[in-house]
Structure 1
Amino acid sequence: MTNKTSALRLIYPQWQGGIVAHWMPDLPPDDASRGYYLGAYLLNFLAPDTGQRMIEVPVSLDINDRETEKGINSYQVILKQTKAALEILNNETPERIITLGGDCAVSVVPFTYLAAKYPDDVAIVWIDAHPDVSLPYDDYKGYHAMALTACLGIGDEEIMNVLPGKVDASKALLVGVRSWDKGMKERQNKLGIKGLSPAEVSDNSFVVMEWLKQVGVSKVVIHFDMDVLDPAEIIAAVGTDPDGMKIDEAVRVINDIASEYDIVGLTVAEPMPRVAIKIRNMLSKLPLLKD
């Protein structure tokens, strides 16, 4: 049911939401921190050209501008980039948005924009190894871990006041979740967000489709974090938690939803191109290619 040609392709290479360098000691820390930036451009390069209008959200590359404020790392940068992304959407007024990021928080502006555009008729399917329901007072200060709660209208007051809409927690579903920071499983349960393990969707999408039927919406936004994928098949993200979803399983779930619902938002997020970063650094050291 998705009309892909009517979608705006939003290139959103935000990387500041993640505090991830320590998980990749094989990469220079600054390169690892900004890896999502390169990942967004690689996704756009690899994605088929379907005639979509494409716009890029301006994102800072300043590695030093990462001050934690109000419980969120790189707060001012993220707030500025949030406003820039929203200005683009307000100017373009798209009916559908495909977002290529970037850390998980790149879904926040498109999803809340679409929630405001289609009030009470949007469900979120969040395909991710992690629930992303952190809040600024939690130990981890990366905004990408707060992305789903932000879509639900829960989080930093100033950012929440900027966002145009929200989705009720009863209309959010986690798919492929298998890794929780301390207290996050309890918060997920307290918010009433249903979660499905990779095993529950490995053979078919029945549970997802039944949940959508019960929610009673006509439109769906889908967040596809590449860390949901099984590292035994592909290592495409920072996270390498075992026993994830196979590529074909994730694609099947998304296409099954699209066969019965209007997909108004699709985000592909958190690609960490380790090999590409190493090749880039190698090339930068060769004669005639040095700056």
Structure 2
Amino acid sequence: MPATFVVVPQWQGSVSARAMSHADGATAIQGDLPASTTIVVDVPTEAGESLGTGVQRYSTIRRVRESTDTALDRVPDWAITIGGDCGAAVAGVAHAQARSAGDVAVLWLDAHPDLNTPESSPSGGFGGMALRAIVGDGPDGLALDESTRVAPGRLVLGGVRAVDDEERRFIDEHDVSMLTVEDLAEPAGVVEALESTGAGRVFVHIDLDVLDPSALAGLSYPMPFGIGAPELATLLRAVAARFPLAGASIAGFAPRSPEAASDDLPTILRLVAALTSGAAAAGAA
């Protein structure tokens, strides 16, 4: 079945000075998606309160998570979640795990591993804790529970170029697979890393800052020496051809203006097309 797009214009998980541009980015992408297979999650404009959790804007992020879960319950098969910041991906992984009986590996393509906890985060931004929440660590209502969390051995990180101390500790302690930007240019190696997890299905997360800044202008956290857009699209097609995709997410688009968004959208839509290209992209069917 074709993917359903769940658009989550959440910005509250970002601590960038351009945080609210993430909502603009999600809305810009929505404009080029098929309306008949797109669900839009209503995101409040207010920032929200931390409520003692160590997560900035926790109250609003939790409300958005609940609304996203409800939207995903309406998806007949597999979903591509369009953020917003990376925190929007967490509900998508929970949905994929539930639909796939827990048989999911996560390919996390990001300049950052997003493996901080509320205690270790230097900023309190939930976007930097998103993957840690996916393995089950984090405050109530955000971290995945026992039935949906993903074991560290089923994570494959790709394109990471900035790692905090606690993230490094977690990666080393759990022997999390990490692939360099150069590794991503060899899709066979990425497929092999995913096969080694033993999972039958894959959830692919793309924070657009995995790309080199020369490939996309609308990045709130541009990091040099990223992968090129053609190479990333080739990688996504290879993964979609080998594995049934249990779900996917795209996050981190923060255009400076509607005109700038228009310049970047062809690159993003190329990645969307690559995710939906494989005959194996059949979700949990």
Give the TM-score of the pair, scaled to structure 1: 0.83
What percent identity do the matched residue pairs reach? 27
Structure 1: which 5+ runs fail to align? 22-31, 280-291
2:102 aligned counterpart, secondary structure = coil
1:10 matches 2:6: yes
1:36 matches 2:18: no
| AA in 2 matched with 1:207 | G
1:183 aligned counterpart, secondary structure = helix
1:36 aligned counterpart, secondary structure = helix
Count of residue pairs the alignment pairs up:
260
Structure 2: which 5+ runs fail to align? 262-285
* Residues 155-203 of structure 1, C-alpha deviations (whole Å, 9 max, x = no match): 113433779611111111011111113432222222332111101222x
1:1-291 superposed matches below 5 A: 3=1, 5=2, 7-21=3-17, 32-47=18-33, 49=34, 53-63=37-47, 65-67=48-50, 69-90=52-73, 92-138=74-120, 139-160=122-143, 165-202=148-185, 204-276=186-258
Moved more, 233-242 or 249-258: 233-242
Separation (CA, whole Å) in 2 of partners of 1:232 and 1:53: 31
Separation (CA, whole Å) in 2 of partners of 1:162 and 1:100: 23
**What displacement does 1:263 show?**
1.1
* Residues 49-100 of structure 1, C-alpha deviations (whole Å, 9 max, x = no match): 3x7521111101125x35463100001101111111112222x143200111
Give the TM-score of the pair, scaled to structure 2: 0.85
2:196 aligned counterpart, secondary structure = helix
State the match for 1:283 in structure 2: none
Task: Return closer, same or farther for 1:192/1:13 CA change in 2, 3 Å cut-off.
Answer: same
| AA in 2 matched with 1:222 | V
Task: Return closer, same or farther for 1:42/1:192 CA change in 2, 3 Å cut-off.
Answer: same
**What displacement does 1:219 show?**
1.2
**What displacement does 1:38 show?**
0.5
Task: Return closer, same or farther for 1:229/1:269 CA change in 2, 3 Å cut-off.
Answer: same
